[in-house]
Amino acid sequence: MAEVYDIIIIGAGPGGLAAGIYASRSKLKTLVIEKGRVGGQAATTEEMENYPGYFSGTTGPELMEKMHQHAQHFGCQFVKDEVVDLELGEFQKTVITKKGRYHAKAVIIGSGAQPRPLGVMGEQELKGKGVSYCATCDADFFEDLDVVVVGNGDAAIEEAIYLTRFAAKVSIIVIHDEGILDATKVIQERALANDKIEFVWNSVLEEIKGDGLVESVLVKNLKTGEVTDLEANGVFIFVGTVPRTQFLQGKVDLDERGYIPTSQLMETSQDGVYAVGDVRQKYLRQVVTAASDGAIAAVAAEKFIHEEENFQTEVLQKEKVAVMFWTPMEQACLDQVPLVEEMAAAGKLDLVKIDTYRNQRIARRYNIEQLPTLLFLEDGAETGRETGPLTREKLQSHF
């Protein structure tokens, strides 16, 4: 019998690591599968000053290493491997990697996102030859040289500021009118005060030129239509991200952009499968929100495992059992519980009550549309059901 984990987490970014901390601290047997190095995108950014409690000099890689150690401290296991496929649908799920197969009762997907390419001429050919999506990786090449940054969100402006420590001049190509940036105010102010930074407003990058290495870029002014050839040795592109969900096609529901829609409990379209961090459809993609997702998913997954295991032993593995779906929020349900309990006791039939307010998943599985509903099962298979109002006459034949 192969080893079965309680929870397998795909990806060791802040979402996956927070889930790993919560799950392993709850004594769940937890495995994190990471294809590269622990830390995710957060480990590729130097500036990290909006994670609560960390503001003076802590870098992205340092913070992520602490989270890694934190998870290990509670017994979370890590393996370096790449997930290529999943077998879902059953309580025991299989995660298929390049090197093997792993089994778990719940899966948390934190595979993250990667920089979105701009899609302009020359970008692909000059990647690694001056075109970059990672300032910490490549900034050193551009000491005393001129670089161009494309984008104007937090990432673009923060990385532009970081680049001024190396480059002679940093030109930021901004699609908006003069003075308008998508980045947070505090970051904007810092950039506007930096005399190595020059803004090129109302403009888009049209082409990256160079023979072997980047030599210049063509910048088009959207107002005048004028195209300028701007000399530059490097082009740093920060225009958002795309989710890493190719391996999930047909496995869980994805939105039109490839992100995973989830419930408030981080549940995906598959029972026992959760999504956390940047890979999820969400409003704000930050280390702190990824960590929050991870905590929620781990707690939800723990509850899922507990409920499913309970349902298996209390219901599915019983020779004969009655299951009452009810909710204490409805008076009709409250009124009918004593009768059902009395008749079950008299008929010596095990009765399991499921509060649908707390557990909607099992109710959905049995297509429970009305409360209360009483289900009768033999050896895990449904043999009959009665819907409310449950009367002595209706129940007589079952007990």
Partner 1 sequence: MLEVNKENFEQEVLNQKGLVLVDYWSPKCEPCMELLPSMEELEAKFESVKFCKLDILKNRRLAIGQKVMGLPTILIYLDGEKKGELSKDFSIEDVEQKLRELGA
Residues annotated catalytic, as ranges: 134, 137-138
Residue 336 interacts with partner 1 (CB under 8 A): yes or no: no
Residue 230 interacts with partner 1 (CB under 8 A): yes or no: no
Residue 268 interacts with partner 1 (CB under 8 A): yes or no: no
Judged by CB under 8 A, the residue of 89, 128, 179, 389 near partner 1 is 128
Q: Which residues contact 316 (CB under 8 A, 6 or more apart)?
A: 377, 380
Residue 234 interacts with partner 1 (CB under 8 A): yes or no: yes
Residues 169-198, interacting with partner 1 (CB under 8 A)? none
Residue 390's identity, in one-letter code, is L
Cβ proximity to partner 1, 88 vs 134, nearer residue: 134
Pairwise CA distance, residues 87 & 84, whole Å: 11
Shortest Cβ distance from residue 378 to partner 1 (Å)? 51
Residue 213 interacts with partner 1 (CB under 8 A): yes or no: yes
Judged by CB under 8 A, the residue of 103, 116, 129, 209 near partner 1 is 129
Phi, psi of 270 (to 5 degrees): -105, 135
Judged by CB under 8 A, the residue of 49, 87, 143, 369 near partner 1 is 143
The answer to whether 323 and 344 are in contact (CB under 8 A) is no
Pairwise CA distance, residues 229 & 321, whole Å: 77
Judged by CB under 8 A, the residue of 216, 233, 241, 356 near partner 1 is 233
Instruction: Characterise 179 by phi-psi region: left (phi > 0), alpha (psi -120 to 50), beta (else).
Output: left
Judged by CB under 8 A, the residue of 214, 248, 266, 343 near partner 1 is 214
Both tokens of 208, joined, read 């990256």
Pairwise CA distance, residues 5 & 82, whole Å: 17
Residue 361 interacts with partner 1 (CB under 8 A): yes or no: no
Judged by CB under 8 A, the residue of 30, 111, 132, 171 near partner 1 is 132
CA 286 to chain CA centroid, nearest Å: 11
Residue 28 interacts with partner 1 (CB under 8 A): yes or no: no
Residue 140 interacts with partner 1 (CB under 8 A): yes or no: yes
Cβ proximity to partner 1, 77 vs 136, nearer residue: 136
Residues 72-111, interacting with partner 1 (CB under 8 A)? 82
Binding-site size for partner 1 (CB under 8 A) equals 28
Residue 133 interacts with partner 1 (CB under 8 A): yes or no: yes
Judged by CB under 8 A, the residue of 39, 112, 372, 388 near partner 1 is 39
Shortest Cβ distance from residue 41 to partner 1 (Å)? 9
Shortest Cβ distance from residue 3 to partner 1 (Å)? 24
Rg of the chain's alpha carbons, rounded to an integer?
27
> Which DSSP string corresponds to 144-194?
TSEEEEE--SHHHHHHHHHHTTT-SEEEEE-SSSTT--SS-HHHHHHHHT-
Residue whose pair of structure tokens reads 């970008």 in the numeric block? 123
CA distances from 383 to 159, 321, 340, 351, 377 (A): 63, 10, 17, 15, 5
Cβ proximity to partner 1, 79 vs 352, nearer residue: 79
Judged by CB under 8 A, the residue of 52, 212, 250, 338 near partner 1 is 212
> Which DSSP string corresponds to 317-369?
TSSEEEEEEE-TTSHHHHHHHHHHHHHHHHTT-EEEEEETTT-HHHHHHTT--
Considering only the stretches 22-30, 151-159, 207-215, 362-370, report the one whose residues sit in contact with partner 1 under the rule CB under 8 A: 207-215
Judged by CB under 8 A, the residue of 23, 28, 33, 43 near partner 1 is 43
The answer to whether 289 and 266 are in contact (CB under 8 A) is no
Cβ proximity to partner 1, 241 vs 336, nearer residue: 241
Question: For binding to partner 1 (CB under 8 A), which residues are involved?
Answer: 36-37, 39, 43-44, 61, 82, 114, 127-134, 136-141, 143, 212-214, 233-234
